[in-house]
Amino acid sequence: MTGGLLVAGTTSDAGKSVLTAGICRWLHRRGVKVAPFKAQNMSNNSAVVLGPDGRGGEIGRAQAMQAAACGLTPDLRFNPVLLKPGSDLSSQVVLLGEAVDTITAGTFRTLRPRLAETAYAALAELRSEYDVVICEGAGSPAEINLRDGDYVNMGLARQVGLPTIVVGDIDRGGVFAAMFGTLALLDPADQALIAGFVVNKFRGDMGLLAPGLAMLRHLTGRPTYGVLPWAVDLWLDAEDSLAYGRVLGRPAAPRGTEWLDVAVLRLPRISNATDVEALATEPGVRVRLTVEPAELAAADVVVLPGSKSTVADLAWLRETGLADAVTAHAAAGRPVLGICGGYQMLARAIHDPVESRQGSVPGLGLLPTEVTFDRSKTVRPAEGTVDGDVPVHGYEIHHGYVSTADPQLTPLLRYTDGTDEGAMHGVVHGTHWHGTFESDEFRRWFLTRAARLAGRTGFQVAPDTSFAAARERSLDLLGDLVEEHLDTDALWRLIEDGPPTDLPFIPPGAPPG
């Protein structure tokens, strides 16, 4: 089998990432050498990947998840362009894993030809090395104000002649209008590549949906390749924190007599929110995201997650009253954990001439440290121990570093070379490492400590939870959903043969681009 496919969507969070991963898993299980690709991702959820030179680089976390679905080690080429929003008007540009610039909407046009060239070259290399490349679009292909110069959606499909399927989230309502409208807003050459549709997150009577699918085919001349049911267990590796509900996953009953309640602050520029997902796989651990100060009063553990804009999000904590709530939580003797940007916020002071350019600002003062931002960015895998011999691994993505610390401060972690990292100060904990909770032994160590500090003597950590196994089950579920609910024979032909040659044009269509 040789070929490719573009998975586009009617909106952001329509299901492109999970459908791409599911198709990848289906093909991988059939013995196809398949790879994922997303020309440009905009997300603060990233994964660290080692490049050919051995240095760490960043790609979107969804592409790392899709690589796992393919049975592959993540490759920087799977997501050659990553935009990390630092504010409503600017984003950091990560090109083949390396941060190269910060842009606004105005300066993006100047840089876009270089980004497109890099993306096309990366896809060409992958297509020469793999039998099939399953590409994921971004947002919607019908954003006609952005069509000129597009290299992520139909611009990419046109570049290499990729057949395209459009997925829509029926749980949001209006899926038929969204699918028809997406097609009808494209110019004739783009429409010629749209082969059909997939409905996502359906729950209900298929008998009621079927007439609508038949009418959609009559109106567009294109089939619906299948209807994916709502699957409550698909929540790991979320592309965006907005995909989360208030409570992560479906917490299993506790092994002991008490639950452990973990409140995670949903920061405006939250990054790598997936750090806390591993906690939510544990029986008896309830993990919820919140923006309400009152909810921290009932929590056993408070987590300040990563942030792409540490100083700005710290100011937001103060404006909303969450800063006072975090301080009160620690003063009451209950555990607080800061991860990366959240760790930096716990310091006495933050000196930032780089990211926010606000100079020196006071931190929350819960750790006897000071943080200084540097123009060089630390991006690397991390491995070490906690408490002497408990193994832990993770990764680092940050500009800020601890420049001053009380010499009596207890480190939280230790690198394999013996260097200390992070801090413990009473009930307050902090680390720059992301992904530590995916290490099963470290996760159990932290939860046991947190429960003791919170006074939850009836909480008992499960000795057998495997986060890696939970992720594999999620990927296998995606593959199962594709095999059971999509017309895989038709998808196979589409990937091998390309778009059908007799697809009708649906007016009005955009002017030819």
Residues taking part in catalysis: 340, 434
Residue type, 242: L
Half-sphere exposure of 77 (CA within 13 A, CB side): 18
Closest to 231 in 3D by CA, of 485, 501, 463: 485
| Cα–Cα dist 179/224, whole Å | 10
Strand partners, 7: 136, 165
Q: What is the largest CA-CA distance in the chain?
A: 74
Strand partners, 95: 81, 98
- List phi, psi (to 5°) of 166: -115, 125
Identity (one letter) of the amino acid at 395? Y
Beta bridge partners of 371: 350, 402
Q: Give the integer Cα–Cα distance in Å for 153 and 151.
A: 6
CB of 90 closer than 8 Å to CB of 414: no
> Backbone phi, then psi, for 402, in 5-degree steps?
-75, 115
Cis omega (within 30 of 0) for bond into 508 = yes
Run of H or E residues at 169: strand 164-169
Identify the bridge partners of residue 424 per DSSP, sorted by sequence position. Answer: 410, 429
Burial letters 175-191, b for 16+ CB under 10 A, else e: bbebbbebbbbbbeebb
What is the rounded CA–CA span in Å between residue 40 and residue 452? 44
Given a contact cutoff of 8 angstroms between Cβ atoms, the answer to whether 158 and 190 are in contact is: yes
Q: Give phi and psi for 244, each to the nearest 5.
A: -75, 150
Q: How far apart are CA 136 and CA 118, in angstroms?
A: 16
DSSP string, 253-300: PPSSS--EEEEEE--TTEE-GGGGTTGGGSTTEEEEEE--HHHHTT-S
- How far is 325 from 15, CA to CA, in rounded Å? 36
Q: What is the DSSP letter of 83?
A: E
Side chain identity at residue 491, one-letter code: L
Q: Which residues of 344-364 are buried (b: 16+ CB within 10 A; e: fewer)?
A: bbbbbbbbbeebbeeeeeebb
507 preceded by a cis bond (ω within 30 of 0)? no
SS3 of 18, please? helix
